Amino acid sequence: DAGVTQSPTHLIKTRGQQVTLRCSPKSGHDTVSWYQQALGQGPQFIFQYYEEEERQRGNFPDRFSGHQFPNYSSELNVNALLLGDSALYLCASSSGLAGGFTYEQYFGPGTRLTVT
Amino acid sequence: TQLLEQSPQFLSIQEGENLTVYCNSSSVFSSLQWYRQEPGEGPVLLVTVVTGGEVKKLKRLTFQFGDARKDSSLHITAAQPGDTGLYLCAGAHNDMRFGAGTRLTVKP
């Protein structure tokens, strides 16, 4: 049973560019959450998708957008990249009661994004 | 901005010692989770606590949720080098808020 997978593993982009990160949830999970983890910090919640809709959103600008597909996989898009967007981007999947955070979340290994 | 304060930020101990790390907030959470994260990997869920005053044990790890559901502690008995890692607490309300973590090093 595959866990949460993310691609790519590492990515280097230039300031102003756009990036798309991908996530496949754990088998049986229907909810996907995205987090940004800066060096030396805990993860910061970006948003959560359930039934192909954004259900919850953290304090991130509109440059951060996402999508969930019918197979529950998800993409995170970041436009007009800034140097401060350099971080580890984590995807977490869960299941039950229309998403939410009470139930177990399983994290993927993350995508390390470097903006130069 | 981390709304969950974790302490200590760094902890280095010898194998066999006991330790406690803390997670404090002014906010009330519907549940609180503890994770361990190793370099290059995503956080791994250790436990979820839901009820104020709840205590859960996972082998040598004991987790407690405060009566007011604003704080939590993690106690490790007889620490081993394999316990080394970043311990993160996360509180759930309308979203999920993580602390900055406690980086634990257990020396053999």
Of A103, A5, A94, A85, give the one whose Cα is nearest residue A46: A85
pLDDT at A72: 95
Residues of A in contact with B94 (CB under 8 A): 56
Domain assignment of residue B103, yes or no: no
User: How does residue A95 score in pLDDT terms, banded at 50, 70 and 90?
Assistant: confident
- Residue B101 near chain A (CB below 8 Å): yes
Looking only at the bridges linking them, the beta strands covering B71-76 and B61-65 are antiparallel
The total of structural domains in chain B comes to: 1
- Residue B41 near chain A (CB below 8 Å): yes
As to burial, measured by CB atoms within 10 angstroms (0-12 exposed, 13-18 middle, 19+ buried), residue A73 is middle
Does A33 contact B96 at a Cβ distance shorter than 8 Å? yes
pLDDT at A100: 56
Domain assignment of residue B99, yes or no: no
Q: How far is A66 from chain B, CA to nearest CA, in Å?
A: 17
CB A8, CB A110: distance < 8 Å:
no
Does A45 contact B40 at a Cβ distance shorter than 8 Å? no
- Residue B24 near chain A (CB below 8 Å): no
Domain assignment of residue B43, yes or no: yes
Q: What is the mean pLDDT of residues A27-39?
A: 93
Residues of the domain holding B48: 29-78
pLDDT at B53: 93
User: How does residue A97 score in pLDDT terms, banded at 50, 70 and 90?
Assistant: low
Q: How far is B101 from chain A, CA to nearest CA, in Å?
A: 6
Rounded to whole angstroms, the Cα distance separating B23 from B4 reads: 6
The total of structural domains in chain A comes to: 1
Distances, alpha carbon B103 to alpha carbons A29, B19, B29, B39, B78, in Å:
30, 12, 23, 11, 17
User: How does residue A102 score in pLDDT terms, banded at 50, 70 and 90?
Assistant: low
User: How does residue A96 score in pLDDT terms, banded at 50, 70 and 90?
Assistant: low
Domain assignment of residue B16, yes or no: no
- The conformation of residue B97, written as its DSSP 8-state character, comes to E
- Which residue among B4, B42, B92 places its CB closest to the CB of A101? B92
Domain assignment of residue B69, yes or no: yes
Domain assignment of residue B22, yes or no: no
CATH code of the domain containing A46: 2.60.40.10
How many residues are present in chain B? 108
Mean pLDDT of chain A: 92
Looking only at the bridges linking them, the beta strands covering B10-14 and A111-115 are unpaired
- Residue B19 near chain A (CB below 8 Å): no
Q: Which of A37, A45, A91, A101 to mutate to test the interface with B (most CBs of B within 10 A)?
A: A101
Q: How far is B76 from chain A, CA to nearest CA, in Å?
A: 21
Of B21, B95, B49, give the one whose Cα is nearest residue A43: B95
Q: How far is A73 from chain B, CA to nearest CA, in Å?
A: 18
3-class secondary structure, A83: helix
As to burial, measured by CB atoms within 10 angstroms (0-12 exposed, 13-18 middle, 19+ buried), residue B91 is buried
Residue A5: closest C-alpha in chain B: B42
Rounded to whole angstroms, the Cα distance separating B24 from B34 reads: 13
Q: Pull the structure tokens for residue B23.
A: 């997670």
Averaged in consecutive runs of 10 residues, what is the pLDDT profile of chain B (108 residues)? 85 97 92 91 92 94 94 96 96 85 97
CA B69 to chain CA centroid, Å, is 14
Residues of the domain holding A23: 5-115
Span A47-81, pLDDT tens digits: 999 989 998 899 999 999 999 999 999 999 999 99
pLDDT at A103: 64
CATH code of the domain containing B66: 2.60.40.10
- Which residue among A43, A101, A109 places its CB closest to the CB of B41? A109
Rounded to whole angstroms, the Cα distance separating A81 from B103 reads: 30
